[in-house]
Amino acid sequence: MRLALVLAQENGLATGDLALGVAGVLALAAVIVVALKRRKP
């Protein structure tokens, strides 16, 4: 984990891509949860 942080700090673009990836996954999960809630009565 610490090694990953060091590599991320060395490459700012990698950190940005990681943040966008995490945000995308969270957004996708939120959409799925909302869709499932709407399907169930």
* pLDDT tens digits, 2-39: 776 666 566 666 667 778 889 999 999 999 999 999 99
pLDDT computed for residue 9 by the predictor: 64
pLDDT computed for residue 14 by the predictor: 63
Angle between helices 2-10 and 12-39 (to 10 degrees): 120
The domains of the chain are located at 2-39
Residue 28 has phi, psi (to 5 degrees) of -65, -45
- CA–CA distance, 30 with 5 (Å, rounded to integer): 27
